[in-house]
Amino acid sequence: MSPSPNTKHQRTLWNLSIGFGLYSKSNDVGRFYFAPLDVVLGANTALQPDLMSISKERTGIIRENYIAGPPDLVVEILSPSTAAHDRATKPALYAEAGVPWVWLLDPEAKTVETLKLEGGKYYFDSVLSGNQILTSTLFPGWQLPFHELFDFRTSF
């Protein structure tokens, strides 16, 4: 059994979820879900990304108990105990299934790596850190400053 996520992991997920939640109340961009919820990518492949987005054009893949196919975006928040798996194993499975975007958030380093699928492989679209602002072409007008994304003041 894997250890549960630490408080920085959970706070990062909360901050990202709040940012997306506020945005989605005003913008009909689809649906956001977070773990634990299975994403069935194939007959023998199911993963639980920390957060996922499914565009309104693709909401047909949403089932009552799982997501039946690749989301438009998956977010993995790295924890010390799962970072290697989240960086190596999961992206390969996501690429094979055709997930267009993967974000890797590192609460310890306070970085975000955005990976874009092209020709069946992921390429770094951006590596963000410092005082930057997270944005995405998937969500026009949405932005989340890093000081809000990686705000752990109320965690401990």
Here the contacts of 109-112 (C-beta below 8 Å, separation 24 or greater) are 110/146, 110/150, 112/146, 112/149
List, for residues 108-154, the tens digit of each pLDDT value.
999 999 999 999 999 999 999 999 999 999 999 999 999 999 999 86
Give the integer Cα–Cα distance in Å for 144 and 56: 21
- Answering whether pTM is above 0.75, one says yes
Both tokens of 62, joined, read 């949403």
For each of the domains in the chain, give its residue range(s) and CATH number, in order of start. 7-149 (3.90.1570.10)
Give the integer Cα–Cα distance in Å for 154 and 77: 19
Both tokens of 81, joined, read 């105990």
Backbone φ and ψ of 19, nearest 5°: -60, -45
Q: Are 115 and 128 in contact (CB under 8 A)?
A: no
List, for residues 65-119, the tens digit of each pLDDT value.
999 999 999 999 998 888 888 999 999 999 999 999 999 999 999 999 999 999 9
